[in-house]
């Protein structure tokens, strides 16, 4: 009997996290924890994961917003831009990193391609070793998840794990997070 697709997908996600550098995760947590304000950015499906991450950071009580929203404040010294560039570079990520750094903010890039241009422009990089559209045709590419889905799924889990570490680091109770959840649904 062939392995069900969901089992193969979960195995691939597990392999990504088996290769994740825990020290790099801790450095990313420290960057986020030290920030006065946080702006987050991602494109396409990565952007959807980043928006969810922004919401969870808000639930933690952090000043987090999504780049492009009308309420996103300007960034400066003491602030952090978090951007996802799974395949290594997006022109918008590169430009935003330049603006944030020019104005004194730090930058954290989440990427599957740490040798990419976006990572080179960042103050800190968190390498998420998952397949993206940049390498979905390479030998050993995912047999189950198409294009960049492995990175996008791993990005969701990574962001939730970052939230858990920040929650523990700051001693934030689950009920405090729940109290910040919107009542306008």
CATH code for the domain defined by 5-177: 3.40.50.10490
The percentage of the chain sitting over the pLDDT mark of 70, rounded to a whole number, equals 99
**Rounded CA gap, 43 and 76, in Å?**
23
pLDDT > 90? residue 165: yes
Residue 137 has a CB neighbour count (10 Å cut-off) of 9
Inter-CA distances, 72 with 42, 63, 67, 113, Å = 14, 10, 6, 27
pLDDT tens per residue, range 68-113: 999 999 999 999 999 999 999 999 999 999 999 999 999 999 999 9
In the chain, what are the domain boundaries? 5-177
Distance CA 131, CA 136 (A): 6
E-strand ranges in 42-182 read: 64-66, 80-84, 106-111, 124-127
- β-strand 80-84 against 106-111: which pairing, if any? parallel
Non-local (6+) Cβ contacts of 148 within 8 A are 44, 45, 46, 86, 87, 131, 132, 133, 136
Average pLDDT, whole number, for the chain? 95
Q: pTM of the prediction?
A: 0.95
132-152 pLDDT, tens digit each: 988 878 777 776 888 889 999
Q: Return d(Cα 86, Cα 77) in angstroms, integer.
A: 26
Selection from 99, 98, 89, 104 nearest residue 35 by Cα? 104
């Amino acid at each position: 009997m062939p392995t069900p697709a969901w089992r193969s997908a979960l195995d691939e996600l597990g392999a990504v996290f088996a290769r994740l550098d825990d020290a790099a995760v801790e450095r990313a947590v420290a960057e986020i924890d030290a920030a006065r304000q946080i702006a987050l950015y991602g494109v396409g499906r990565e952007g959807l994961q980043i928006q969810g991450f922004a919401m969870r950071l808000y639930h933690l009580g952090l000043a987090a917003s999504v780049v492009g929203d009308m309420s996103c404040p300007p960034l400066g010294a003491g602030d952090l831009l978090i951007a996802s560039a799974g395949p290594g570079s997006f022109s918008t990520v590169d430009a935003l990193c330049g603006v944030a750094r020019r104005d004194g903010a730090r930058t954290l890039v989440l990427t599957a391609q740490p040798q990419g241009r976006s990572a080179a422009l960042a103050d800190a990089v968190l390498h998420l070793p998952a397949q993206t559209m940049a390498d979905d045709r390479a030998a050993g590419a995912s047999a189950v998840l198409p294009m960049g889905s492995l990175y996008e799924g791993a990005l969701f889990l990574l962001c939730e794990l970052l939230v858990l570490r920040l929650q523990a680091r700051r001693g934030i109770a689950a009920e405090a997070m729940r109290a910040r959840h919107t009542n306008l649904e």
